[in-house]
Structure 1
Amino acid sequence: MDLLLSDRTYVVTGGSSGVGLATVAELLAEGACVATCARDGDRLTAAIADVAPDAGDRVLAVSADVRNRDDVAALVTGAVDRFGGIDGLVNNAGGSRMAPLWETSLADWHDELDLKFAGVLNTVDAARGHLAASDAASIVNINAVLAKQPETRLIATSAARAGLLNLSKSLSFDLAPRIRVNSVLLGLIDTGQWQRRYAESGDARPFADWEHDIVADRGVALDRFGRADEVAAVVAMLLSPRSSYVTGTTVEVAGGVSRYV
C-alpha cells in the first residue's frame, strides 16, 4: 500500500541510532524528505550514509540537542529552507535511566523530566506553525509501555513517560484539527541500549540466551525483542495521510508485554 509519503517532509529527532535511525530509513525509502538531528553530528551523518547511501539531497542531518530551543529552532528552520515546509514530526530523542527510586538523585529526576518534556515541547513549538500549513500534518511521540505500566528498575523514566503520555493527549486536542498527534508505546526493542546492557552484564552466554531470559522475566508474549524497523513501520503509518482520522491515541509495539487492558 502506498502510504502517500513521497515528496513530503518529516523531522525526526534522535536519528543516529535505534528507532530514530530506522524511522529515517523508512521515510526515505517511502520517497519522503527527512530532516533529522542528534547530539553527535558526525555519528549521525555516518549512520545515515550507512542505511541510506543514495538519499542525496533528500536528507538534512544536523547536530542538535532537543533540550536546547535554539538548536531545535535551527533544525526546523533548516528543514523548511531546504524542503519548503514540513508535514510531520517524530519526537524520538530520549533514553532510559536504569535506577531504582532511592538511587535516583533529584538532579537525575530533573534531567529525565527535562529530556522527556522539553525535548517534545521545544520541537512541537518550533514546528507547529509550519505543520499547520500542511494538508496532512502529523506528530508521533515515541514513548514506552512504561507510561502505563511502571517499572521499579526504571522509576524516573516510568514517571516521565507517564507524563509525556498525558501531555501527548493534551497536544492532540490543542493542535486539532490541523495537526494529528499520536503516541507509539515501545516494549523491549533491540537497539544499541540493549546491546550495551548485554555487554555490561558480563554474561558469557550468547546474546540470544541472555535475551530469552529478559523477555521471559518481562512476560513478552512473542518471546523476543522487537526490532527498530518494526517500530518504524508503525510510525510511518501514523504519519501517513492514510491515518487521517487517527489522533490522540496510542499504538503499542511491544510484543504483547503489557499487563493492562
Structure 2
Amino acid sequence: MDLHLSGRTYVVTGGSSGVGLATVAELLAEGANVATCARDADRLAAAISDVAPDTGERVLAVAADVRSRTDVDALISGAVDRFGGLDGLVNNAGGSRMAPLWETSMDDWHDEFDLKFAGVLNTIDAAREHLGRSDAASIVNINAVLARQPETRLIATSAARAGLLNLSKSLSFELAPRVRVNSVLLGLIDTGQWQRRYAASEDPRPFAEWEHDIVTDRGVALGRFGRADEVAGIVAMLLSPRSSYVTGTTVEVAGGVSRYV
C-alpha cells in the first residue's frame, strides 16, 4: 500500500537507535526526506550510515538535545532549508528511569519531566509554523503503556508518560485542523536495552528462555518482545495522509500487554 510519503519531509528525534532509527529507515524506504537528531553526533552518523547507506541526499543528521530550544530550532530550520518544507514530526527522544519512589530524587523528577515535556514542546513549537503550510501535517508522540498502566519500578517515568499522554490529547485540539497529533504507546520493545539487561543479569540460560520469563511475568499476550520495525510501520501509517481523519488517538504496539479496556 502506498502511504503517499514520497517526497515529503519528516523530523524524527532520537534517531541514533531503537524506534527512532527504525522510523528513520522506514520513512526513507517510503521515499521521504528525513531530518533526525541525537546528542551523540558520531553515533548518529554511524547508525544512519548502517540503515540507509544509499539515501544520503534525503537524510539530514545533526547533533541536538531536544531539551535545548536553540538545538531544536537549528534542527527544524535545517530540515526546512535542506528540503523546502516540513510535513511531520516524530517525538521519540526519551528514556526510562529505573528506580522506586524513595530512591528517586527531586532532581531526578525534574530531569524526567524536562525530557518528556520540554523535549516535545520545544520541537512542536519550533515546527508548528512550518507544519501549518503542509497539506498533510502530522505529529506522532512516542509514548508507552506506562502512561496508562504505571510500574512501581519506573515510577517517575510512569508519571511523566501519563502527563505526556494528556498533553498529546490537548495538542490534538490546539493544533487542529491543520495538524494531526497522535500517540503510539510502546510495550516491551527490544531496542537493545533488553539484550543489555540480559547480559548484565549473567543468566546462564539462552536469551529466549530469559525473555519468556519476563513476558510471562508482564502478561504479554503475544509471548515475546516487540521489534523496533514493528513500531516504525505504525508510526509511518499515522504520519501518512491515509490517516487523514485520525487525530487525538493512541495506538498500542505492546503485544497485548495492557490490562485495561
TM-score band w.r.t. shorter chain:
over 0.9
Where structure 1 has 5 or more consecutive residues not aligned to the other structure, the ranges are none
Q: Distance in 2 between matches of 1:196 and 1:154?
A: 18
Bigger CA drift: 113-122 or 190-199?
190-199
CA displacement at 1:56 relative to structure 2:
1.7
Q: Distance in 2 between matches of 1:197 and 1:104?
A: 20
Length-normalised TM-score, structure 2: 0.99
Q: Distance in 1 between matches of 2:231 and 2:129?
A: 27
CA displacement at 1:246 relative to structure 2:
0.1
CA displacement at 1:84 relative to structure 2:
0.2
Q: Distance in 1 between matches of 2:116 and 2:245?
A: 26
Does the residue aligned with 1:209 lie in a helix, a strand or coil?
A: helix
CA RMSD of aligned residues (A): 0.6
Which residue is equivalent to 1:68?
A: 68
CA displacement at 1:234 relative to structure 2:
0.1
CA displacement at 1:197 relative to structure 2:
1.5
Q: Distance in 2 between matches of 1:125 and 1:8?
A: 20
Bigger CA drift: 195-204 or 36-45?
195-204
- 1:42-66 C-alpha deviation (Å, 9 max, x unpaired): 1001001101111121000000000
CA displacement at 1:202 relative to structure 2:
1.9
Q: Distance in 2 between matches of 1:86 and 1:199?
A: 41
- Name the aligned partner's letter for residue 61 of structure 2: A
- 1:209-242 C-alpha deviation (Å, 9 max, x unpaired): 1111110000000000000000000000000000
- Name the aligned partner's letter for residue 38 of structure 2: A
Which residue is equivalent to 1:81?
A: 81
Does the residue aligned with 2:226 lie in a helix, a strand or coil?
A: coil
Which residue is equivalent to 1:103?
A: 103
Q: Identical aligned pairs, as a percentage?
A: 87
Does the residue aligned with 2:152 lie in a helix, a strand or coil?
A: coil
- Name the aligned partner's letter for residue 84 of structure 2: G
Q: Distance in 1 between matches of 2:205 and 2:154?
A: 25
- 1:66-91 C-alpha deviation (Å, 9 max, x unpaired): 00000000000000000001100000
Which residue is equivalent to 2:175?
A: 175
Does the residue aligned with 2:190 lie in a helix, a strand or coil?
A: coil
Which residue is equivalent to 1:244?
A: 244
Which residue is equivalent to 1:46?
A: 46
- Name the aligned partner's letter for residue 93 of structure 1: A
Pairing of 1:155-174 with structure 2 (within 5 A): 155-174=155-174
Which residue is equivalent to 2:203?
A: 203
Where structure 2 has 5 or more consecutive residues not aligned to the other structure, the ranges are none
Which residue is equivalent to 2:153?
A: 153
The answer to whether residue 213 in structure 2 is matched with residue 213 in structure 1 is yes
CA displacement at 1:196 relative to structure 2:
1.7
- Name the aligned partner's letter for residue 53 of structure 1: P
CA displacement at 1:119 relative to structure 2:
0.5
Does the residue aligned with 2:140 lie in a helix, a strand or coil?
A: strand
- 1:115-134 C-alpha deviation (Å, 9 max, x unpaired): 00000000000000000000
Which residue is equivalent to 1:126?
A: 126
The answer to whether residue 18 in structure 2 is matched with residue 18 in structure 1 is yes
CA displacement at 1:208 relative to structure 2:
1.1
CA displacement at 1:4 relative to structure 2:
0.1
Bigger CA drift: 136-145 or 198-207?
198-207
CA displacement at 1:255 relative to structure 2:
0.2
- 1:119-161 C-alpha deviation (Å, 9 max, x unpaired): 0000000000000000000000000000000011100000000
| Deviating 4+ runs (over 6 angstroms) | none
Q: Distance in 1 between matches of 2:192 and 2:64?
A: 20
- Name the aligned partner's letter for residue 114 of structure 1: D
- Name the aligned partner's letter for residue 79 of structure 1: A
